[in-house]
A and B are shown apart, each in its own frame.
Chain A
Amino acid sequence: MDFSVIADNLSYFLLGAWPHGPLGGAALTLVLSISSALASGALGLVLGVALATTHGPAHQGLVLALGFFRAIPVLMLIFWTYFLLPIVFGFNVPGTGTVVVALSLIGGSYLAHSVYAGIASLPPGQWQAAAALGLRRADALRHVILPQALPIMLPSFLNQWIALIKDSSLAYVIGVGELSFVATQVSNREMVYPTEIFLFVALLYFIICSSLELGAGAIARRYGSAEKQT
C-alpha cells in the first residue's frame, strides 16, 4: 500500500478547493453535520413537544408525517428534494441546502419520537405538581418537564447526530463536494489507490464520530453528576 496519494491530496481531502474555491472535503462534512444537527435538534424538540401535547387526529397526522420521513431512505429523500421539488413546486434548494434539509427532516423525525418518549417517561405527577404551583403548560414544559426529560434523551440525540454525520456522505449523489465526494474524485483520478483512499476517509469519519461520542459522553457524565448534586 502506498499512502503518498493521501499526503499529496491532503488539503483537498480536508478543505476541498478552498481558499481558491468553495469549501469542501472534511470541513464541508463538518459544516453539513453541524447545521443539520442543530436543525434536527430544534425540529425534534418542537415536534416531540407537539407529539406530547396533541391528541386525536392532529396527533395521528403528525405520527403519520413523521413515519414517512422515518421510512424513506435518505438517498431517496435527497433525490426528491434536489431534483423533484424544483420541478413540482418551482422551489429551488441548492445542493448543500438539500442535504441539510433532508438530514434535518429525517433526524428531526427520529428525535421527535425520542423527545416524546422522554417526556412520556416522566411521572404524570410532574405535570400536576407544576400546575398546582400555578405554572401554565408552556412554563411547566420549559421549567419542569424538559429539564428532566432532556438528560434522558441525550443518548438518542447523540446516536442520531452520529448517524447524521455518516449520512452526509450521501451528498455525493448530487455532487456536493463533501468528504466522500472529494475522495471519490481523487480515487477516480488516481485510479489505483481505492484501498488507501477509502481507508483514510473511513479514518477521518471515525475520528469525527468518535470524538463526538467521547466528548458528549464526558459532558453527559458531568451534567449527570451536576444534576444529582442540586
Chain B
Amino acid sequence: MLDQLLAPKYVGWLIDGFYVTLAVSALASAAATVLGLLLCLARLAPTRWLAWPALAWLSLFRNTPLLVQLFFWYFGLAALMPQGLLEWLNTPHHWHLAFFGVRWPPFEYVAGFTGLTLFTAAFIAEEFRAGVRGVPPGQAVAARALGLRPWQVWRYVVIPQAFRIALPPLLGQYMNAVKNSSLTMAIGLAELSYASRQVETETFKTFQAFGIATLLYIGTVAVIELAGQWVQRRRPALGAVR
C-alpha cells in the first residue's frame, strides 16, 4: 500500500503547482473583471469609434483557442520584441515597496497571465453586457430624471444592478479561468498540470499524479460553486435590508 503513495517531495511539487494555479487564475480573474467591465462599457458606448473596436476585440479573443493565444504571446510575440526588452523581462528584478519586496516573475508567468486575462476578459465583458441588458431601461431613465449625470447613472444605478445579475455567470467564468489555467503548462508555466506531468516523469505514478491534480481542480471549482450559492442565498437578505 505504502509504495503506491507519492513521496512527500512529489506531493510538495503538486502543492506548489496548485499554489501557482490558484495565484495565476485569481490574478487573471481580477484583472479580467476590470478589463471586461471596460470592454463592456466600450462595446455599449454610443460612439462607434469605441463600440466597433471593442466588438472586433471581443470576437477575436472569443473565437480563437486559448492554446493558440498562449502560443502567440509566448513564442510569437517574444519573437517580435526587441532583444533587450525580453532580456529585461527574463532577468529577476526586485523592488522594495515599503514592507513588500516585489519580484518580477519569469516571462512564462507574464505570458500565461496575459493570455489568460485577455481571453477571460472577453467572456466577462459579454456577461456584463447581458447583465446590463437585464437592467430595466426605466431604471436609467428614472435616474436621469432624478438629475444624475450619465456617468453617475452608470456608476450608481446600472452597474451595481448589472453586476448582481451577472454574478452567477461571472463565477462560472472564474471557474473557467481555473480550468483554463491548465493550458499554460504548454508554455512552461509550472502550474498544477505541469507539476503532475513532472511527478509522472520522475515516479511513473500516473494515476496518483493526475488523480491528485484532478481532485484539486474539482475541489477548487466546487469551492467557487459553493461560494456562489452562499452569495446567492444572502442576496435576498441584502435586498431586504435596503
Interface residues of A (CB under 8 A from B): 67-68, 70-76, 79-80, 83-84, 87, 162, 165-167, 169-170, 172, 180, 183-184, 187, 192, 194-195, 198-199, 201-202, 205-206, 209-210, 213
Contacts and interface: CB of A to CB of B under 8 A. Distances in A.
Interface residues of B, number: 34
* Residue among B59, B63, B69 having the largest count of chain A Cβ atoms under 10 Å: B63
* Residue among A172, A180, A194 having the largest count of chain B Cβ atoms under 10 Å: A194
Interface in B200-215: 206-207, 210, 213-214
Contact of A76 (B59, B65, B79, B217): B217
* Residue among A75, A162, A192 having the largest count of chain B Cβ atoms under 10 Å: A75
Contacts of B193: 73, 75-76
A209 B69 CA distance: 15
A199 B68 CA distance: 8
B135 to A, nearest CB: 19
> Chain A binding site: helix, strand, loop or mixed by DSSP?
helix
Given A166-B64, A206-B60, A209-B63, A71 B218 contact: yes
Contacts of B225: 67, 71
Interface of B: 59-60, 62-69, 71-72, 75-77, 79-80, 175, 179-180, 182-183, 185, 193, 206-207, 210, 213-214, 217-218, 221-222, 225
B79 A180 contact: no
B72 A199 contact: yes
Given A73-B182, A74-B179, A205-B68, A213 B217 contact: no
B149 to A, nearest CB: 34
A86 B92 CA distance: 44
B37 to A, nearest CB: 20
Contact of B67 (A67, A84, A169, A187): A169
A117 to B, nearest CB: 11
Given A194-B71, A206-B63, A209-B64, A80 B79 contact: no
